[in-house]
């Protein structure tokens, strides 16, 4: 896990640096009528960089003494996690094309079938009923417009 720790503190170091650069651009001193725009972010960034370096040093010291410690993702756990993440990302990307509810229906069906090995009947029932009820609840009852995508409006004419 130490490698991941190092990675995250490097990430924070990176974030702190780009915020620092931007706040210098905005100006971080006392302006005409109060602190300039970059004042608050500047000190945030300074603090962030300090913390990141200190954590980095701590982790590096422990790494040298004790090695890499446990794995970040336990053995065999990476697959289920990716099975959640990648189809979910695909669903979000698909939403831009066909709209959320349709993409969700496909996502539900895919996951239930591929990972859960659910029977076809249950799979089809759930992946049709759940998006339908959520569509009625959110789009019609609560009037919260959910994405329809490029082709969604034509595929589902209601």
Partner 1 sequence: MAGDFQNLMMGLGIALQPYNITVAIIGLVLGIIVGVLPGLGGANGVAILIPVVVTMPATTGVILLSSIYWGALYGGSITSILFNIPGEPWSVATTFDGYPMAKGGRPGKALVLSFLAHGFGAVLGVVMLTFFAPIIAEFALKFGPAEIFAVMMLTFSAFVGLGGTSPLKTMASILFGFILAAVGMDIVSGQLRMTFGIVDLMGGFNFIVAVIGLFGLGEIFLTVEEGLNLEGISAKVGLKDIREGMREILRYPKALIMGSIIGCWMGLKPGGATPASFMAYGFCKQSYSNKSEFGKGASAGIIAPEAAAHGAGTSATLPMITLGIPGSPTMAVIMGGLMIFGLQPGPMLFKEHADFVWGLIASCWIGNFLGFFLVLAFAPIFAAVLKIRFAIIMPIIVYVCAIGAYAVNNRMIDVYYMLIFGVLGYLFKKLNYPIAPMVLALVLGDMAEQAMRQALIIGHGSPLIFFQPPLALPIMVAALIIFFWPLVSPAIRKLRATPTQASVKTS
| Residues at the site binding partner 1, with contacts judged by CB under 8 A | 1, 4-5, 8-9, 12, 15-16, 18-19, 22-23, 26, 30, 33-41, 44-45, 47-48, 51-52, 54-55, 58, 72-74, 77, 80-81, 83-85, 87-89, 91-92, 95-96, 100, 104, 107-108, 111-112, 115-118, 122, 126, 130-131, 134, 138, 142-147
- As a whole number of angstroms, the distance between CA 92 and CA 17 comes to 31
| Least spacing, CB of residue 81 vs partner 1, in Å | 5
In the complex with partner 1, which residue's Cβ is closer, 125 or 155?
125
Are the C-beta atoms of residues 70 and 4 closer than 8 Å to each other? no
Q: What is the dihedral of CA 73, 50, 15, 18, to 10 degrees?
A: -160
In the complex with partner 1, which residue's Cβ is closer, 8 or 68?
8
The upper half-sphere exposure of residue 136, i.e. CA atoms within 13 Å in the direction of its Cβ, equals: 5
In the complex with partner 1, which residue's Cβ is closer, 39 or 63?
39
| Least spacing, CB of residue 103 vs partner 1, in Å | 9
| Least spacing, CB of residue 61 vs partner 1, in Å | 13
Give the closest residue to 99 by CA, choosing from 25, 152, 40. 152
- Tokens representing 158 are 């209601």
- As a whole number of angstroms, the distance between CA 94 and CA 101 comes to 10
| Least spacing, CB of residue 55 vs partner 1, in Å | 5
| Least spacing, CB of residue 120 vs partner 1, in Å | 13
| Stretch (H or E) spanning 30 | strand 30-31
């Amino acid at each position: 896990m130490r490698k991941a720790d190092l990675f995250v503190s490097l990430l924070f170091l990176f974030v702190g640096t780009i915020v620092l650069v931007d706040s210098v651009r905005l100006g971080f001193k006392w302006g005409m009528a109060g602190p300039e725009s970059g004042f608050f972010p500047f000190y945030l960034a300074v603090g962030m960089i300090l913390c990141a370096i200190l954590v980095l040093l701590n982790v590096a010291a422990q790494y040298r003494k004790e090695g890499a410690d446990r794995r970040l993702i336990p053995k065999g756990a990476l697959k289920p996690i990716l099975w959640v993440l990648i189809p979910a990302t695909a669903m979000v990307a698909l939403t831009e094309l066909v709209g959320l509810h349709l993409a969700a229906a496909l996502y539900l069906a895919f996951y239930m079938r591929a990972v859960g090995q659910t029977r076809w009947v249950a799979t089809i029932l759930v992946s049709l009923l759940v998006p339908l009820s959520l569509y009625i609840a959110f789009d019609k009852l609560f009037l919260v417009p959910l994405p329809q995508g490029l082709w969604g409006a034509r595929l589902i004419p209601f």
